[in-house]
Chains A and B, each alone.
Chain A
């Protein structure tokens, strides 16, 4: 065994253990913040596995999208909605847990069986490695053109929508005489400084 093979084997073992252990932690831990951080760890280990498969671009994209964006958004969600709730132990919780466990074990068995029974067509081609960006680009503009264009239009809509939402300057005023309904009030409505001072005093 050469040095490279040994390093690959050890790294593969470590990354697999980290992915599986992290994923189990995400599901089983009680503290939701730990779960969210572990999710980031799982995504990072997955990108390590991609690197082992000579897919550097996919690995970097995995880190950028899943660790840098998805995990951070989940964490934001958790930290901004930090709702302290007393945990009320449910009666007969074991029933639900057993059912969930049974479904999970069944799903795992099904997936294992299908994995073992599928005749995998393992490609003998040399991995493209650093030329992967070119290959991906060629695929995007030939046989995967429609999905690519649809996805890019969707992302463009989201991007422009974000800018439009952020640039919104027109805030509908409440017509005088009408009772101000709270559902239509925008949280970012600018107030005059004087009234906001007196309002905050009244609040506090």
Chain B
């Protein structure tokens, strides 16, 4: 199953033809996808911040950013430049080492998780066997960074915010992992590529959302809670905790939290679209369309079109989910911390367990529809 374009092979071949040794050509290739994904992830912050500002403005009947760039699209860049030039303050009684390390530990796993996000059959940094499990493992590191920044700020609001953040991520990680497990059960693989391939072939009808409606909702709620988005933004609840673990942070250290939260939101949306919305699949099966107009699937121009459509579909699905998340943020009230923990442990966890059991039973009963 090796459809699509092998960019790595073509790049290495082109360099070898130019007289570069094969090993060096491979070494030259290695950083390229990482840089592309890093740049893509950074650009996604700008898009998401713009969306957030514009949608919140629309929800509150304002205009929103207007003067920085066309339609205010450069507002995020202005914010970033402002953050860079702000004074970097470390509180006098804070622990400077942990204070600096905290934001980095929050941000690094988020960017690392982009390793496994596929935009097409071969358009992924690395298709490792543990795939989605790596993402679950990496997302469990963030609470350490939050605890670290909360503790080192030497501020009771920060400490409470950090503890809340860690409690929240731990309690919502379990339903999330169980929801992922149900998907993995159907695709017989942890690899994100295999998970998307298992949903392909029947267009929109084959997507996991029809087979896992409960899992989709559980995962989306848990993902919102992991991203600390409203209605789950307890760790930084302004009215209660000033700004939670971010209280003492200024300048680019605060900027790192900001970047981390938005990149994490886009990442979660990408993962939801991969797990439940068919990843790079077009709503109508592309191979069926190709056979309809009588073009072989291996035709070069068709492959280029398929790859571009795949990237656009992945991004479109992800940003549709980001849109929903932003809309939820500006229309829903925040829930209380006890409601949050009750909801996670008393409702989502049992429901996700039942969902997993049901999926296993359905897989045994209808192996055709649920991936035998």
- Chain A residues within CB distance 8 Å of chain B: 2-3, 33, 37, 40, 44, 56-57, 60-61, 63-64, 67-69, 71-72, 75-76, 79-80, 129-133, 159, 162-163, 166-167
A33 to B101, CA, bound (A): 14
A126 to B134, CA, bound (A): 23
Using known A-B contacts A69-B140, A71-B144, A72-B147, determine if residue A163 contacts B350 with beta carbons closer than 8 Å.
yes
Besides the contacts A56-B129, A68-B140, A133-B129, what 6 more A-B pairs have beta carbons closer than 8 Å? A33-B151, A40-B144, A56-B134, A57-B130, A68-B173, A75-B166
Pull 21 A–B residue pairs with CB atoms less than 8 Å apart, ordered by A: A57-B133, A64-B133, A64-B136, A64-B137, A67-B140, A68-B140, A68-B141, A72-B140, A72-B143, A75-B144, A75-B151, A76-B166, A79-B151, A80-B163, A130-B129, A159-B353, A162-B345, A162-B349, A166-B342, A166-B346, A167-B346
Q: How far is the CB of A192 from chain B (nearest CB, A)?
A: 17
Using known A-B contacts A68-B140, A72-B147, determine if residue A132 contacts B163 with beta carbons closer than 8 Å.
no
Contacting pair A60 B98 (CB below 8 A): no
5 interchain residue pairs of minimum CB distance: A68-B140, A130-B129, A64-B137, A63-B137, A60-B137
- Chain B residues within CB distance 8 Å of chain A: 23, 26-27, 98, 128-130, 133-134, 136-138, 140-141, 143-144, 147-148, 151, 159, 162-163, 166-167, 170, 173, 190-191, 341-342, 345-346, 349-350, 353
A43 to B86, CA, bound (A): 36
Residues of A contacting B: mostly: helix
Question: How many residue pairs between the two chains, A and B, have CB atoms under 8 Å in the bound complex?
Answer: 88
Residues of B contacting A: mostly: helix
A159 to B357, CA, bound (A): 15
Contacting pair A60 B163 (CB below 8 A): no
A133 to B342, CA, bound (A): 34
Contacting pair B133 A60 (CB below 8 A): yes
Which chain B residue shows the least CB distance to A62? B137
A167 to B298, CA, bound (A): 56
Contacting pair A2 B349 (CB below 8 A): no
Contacts of A79 in B (CB 8 A): 147, 151, 159, 162-163
Q: How far is the CB of A156 from chain B (nearest CB, A)?
A: 9
Contacting pair A72 B166 (CB below 8 A): yes
Contacting pair B166 A63 (CB below 8 A): no
Contacting pair B137 A68 (CB below 8 A): yes
Interface centre among A57, A64, A129 (most CB of B within 10 A): A64
Which residue in B128, B144, B341 is a CB contact (below 8 Å) of A130? Answer: B128
A72 to B173, CA, bound (A): 13
Contacting pair B138 A63 (CB below 8 A): yes
Contacts of A166 in B (CB 8 A): 341-342, 345-346
Contacts of B170 in A (CB 8 A): 69, 72
Contacts of B163 in A (CB 8 A): 76, 79-80
Using known A-B contacts A132-B129, A133-B130, A166-B346, determine if residue A63 contacts B144 with beta carbons closer than 8 Å.
no
Contacts of B98 in A (CB 8 A): 33, 37
Contacts of B26 in A (CB 8 A): 3
Contacting pair A63 B147 (CB below 8 A): no
A64 to B137, CA, bound (A): 4
Contacts of B191 in A (CB 8 A): 130
Which chain A residue shows the least CB distance to B178? A159
Contacting pair A37 B136 (CB below 8 A): no
Q: How far is the CB of B349 from chain A (nearest CB, A)?
A: 6
Contacts of B345 in A (CB 8 A): 162-163, 166
Which chain A residue shows the least CB distance to B132? A60
Contacts of B138 in A (CB 8 A): 63
Contacting pair B148 A37 (CB below 8 A): yes
Which chain B residue shows the least CB distance to A40? B144
Contacting pair B27 A3 (CB below 8 A): yes
Which residue in B129, B147, B353 is a CB contact (below 8 Å) of A57? Answer: B129
A132 to B129, CA, bound (A): 8
Q: How far is the CB of B299 from chain A (nearest CB, A)?
A: 31
Contacting pair B144 A67 (CB below 8 A): yes
A80 to B167, CA, bound (A): 12
A80 to B353, CA, bound (A): 30
Contacts of B141 in A (CB 8 A): 44, 63, 67-68
